[in-house]
Amino acid sequence: MDQATDAPDSTPPQEAALPAELSVAHPTADDHSRLQQGLESWWGGFGGEAGAQQRALLVPRLFLQHFADTSYLVEDRNGRLVAFLIGFLSQSQPHVGYIHFVGVDPAVQGKQIGRWLYEQFFTTAARRGATEVHCITSPGNHASRAFHARMGFQVEPSPTHLDGAAAQLDYDGPGLHRVSFTRRLP
Residue 7, pLDDT > 60, answer no
How high is the pLDDT of residue 128? 97
What per-residue confidence (pLDDT) applies to 16? 58
d(CA 58, CA 36): 10
Which tens digit of pLDDT belongs to each residue from 41-87?
888 877 888 887 888 888 989 999 999 999 999 999 999 999 999 99
Between residues 180 and 20, which one has the greater pLDDT? 180
Average the pLDDT over 27-46 and give the result.
89
For residue 89, pLDDT beyond 90? yes
Give the pLDDT confidence of 121-139 residue by residue, as tens digits: 999 999 999 999 999 999 9
So where are the chain's domains?
22-124, 131-186
% of the chain residues with pLDDT over 70: 91
pLDDT exceeds 80 at position 116: yes
- Record the pTM: 0.87
More confident: 184 or 50: 184
pLDDT value at residue 10: 43
Residue 8 scores a pLDDT above 60: no
From 79, 90, 144, select the one nearest 118 (Cα to Cα): 144
CATH of domain 22-124: 3.40.630.30
Rounded mean pLDDT, 163-180 = 95
Identify which has the larger pLDDT, 11 or 169: 169
- Which pLDDT value is given to residue 98? 98
10 Å CB burial of residue 105 (0-12, 13-18, 19+) is: middle
Coarse DSSP helix, strand, coil percentages of the chain, rounded to the nearest 5 percent: 30, 25, 40
Hey, which bits of the chain come out as E strands?
22-25, 72-76, 81-89, 96-104, 132-137, 154-155, 161-162, 165-166, 179-184
**Mean pLDDT across the stretch 168-172?**
95
Question: What's the mean per-residue pLDDT of the chain?
Answer: 89
What are the angstrom distances between the C-alpha of 127 and each of 35, 85, 139, 148, 156? 27, 18, 31, 22, 25
